A and B are shown apart, each in its own frame.
Chain A
């Protein structure tokens, strides 16, 4: 089965707190791609990161960082020193294989950052 699980439906934090959004995926493919997208209250979907299955290096982009661990099939996303503008629904997604177009989304985690 190919599946993405985001067990946290909703997370609330106060500004400046660090927060981690969990993502667990399932696939039998050895080559696959993982993505994170952000959907702010305005509704558009914003691409954040793509990672392929052969690259387990963690990535940092400003206050955002991603931890990819094949051993636990997880691709977690951490926001450091959260800000109100980080409030959004965050989706993790899986592209199973390199010859498919079928992006499989998790159910999303709604993050609310309060001032």
Chain B
């Protein structure tokens, strides 16, 4: 019954490694997102996809590459991990609005805590 799910919940890895986080939503939403929450709890959007198309890409290093194989999935791949990438990453989804934007509430996954050593 989980609406937005993410795997893994915890990820501990060494600097320089490549890792992926997976996200799936079963709400039938058109739009999916990735957010980063830093150690001070500050939440910032990284990417959004609408029907598999990239809509928002917020000045994120190109080591981060989102991939949306279908509208129910949005994965995040991170190359050459750095210490500063340590954070909690949240996936979210929402239903697209009439004018293309998604003004409906976003539903969040449980988060993936990434620790880079």
Q: Give A contacts to B, CB under 8 Å.
A: 33, 35, 37, 39, 43-47, 50, 52, 89, 91, 95, 97-103, 105, 107-108, 110
Contact = CB atoms under 8 A, between A and B. Distances in A.
A43 B110 contact: yes
B88 A105 contact: no
- Which of B31, B43, B45 neighbours the largest number of chain A CB atoms within 10 Å of its CB? B43
B101 A105 contact: no
Contact of B99 (A35, A98, A103): A98
Contact of A107 (B42, B90, B98): B42
Nearest to B92: A45
7 contacts: A43-B113, A47-B108, A98-B103, A99-B99, A102-B48, A102-B56, A105-B42
Contacts of A97: 101
Interface in B43-63: 43-45, 48, 50, 55-56, 58
Contact of A44 (B55, B106, B108): B108
Nearest to B98: A98
B84 interface: no
Chain B, interface size category, equals 20 to 34
B111 A103 contact: no
Nearest to A39: B41
Contact of A99 (B43, B56, B101, B104): B101
Contact of B41 (A44, A46, A108): A108
A52 B61 CA distance: 33
Contacts of B109: 44
A108 B90 CA distance: 16
A97 to B, nearest CB: 7
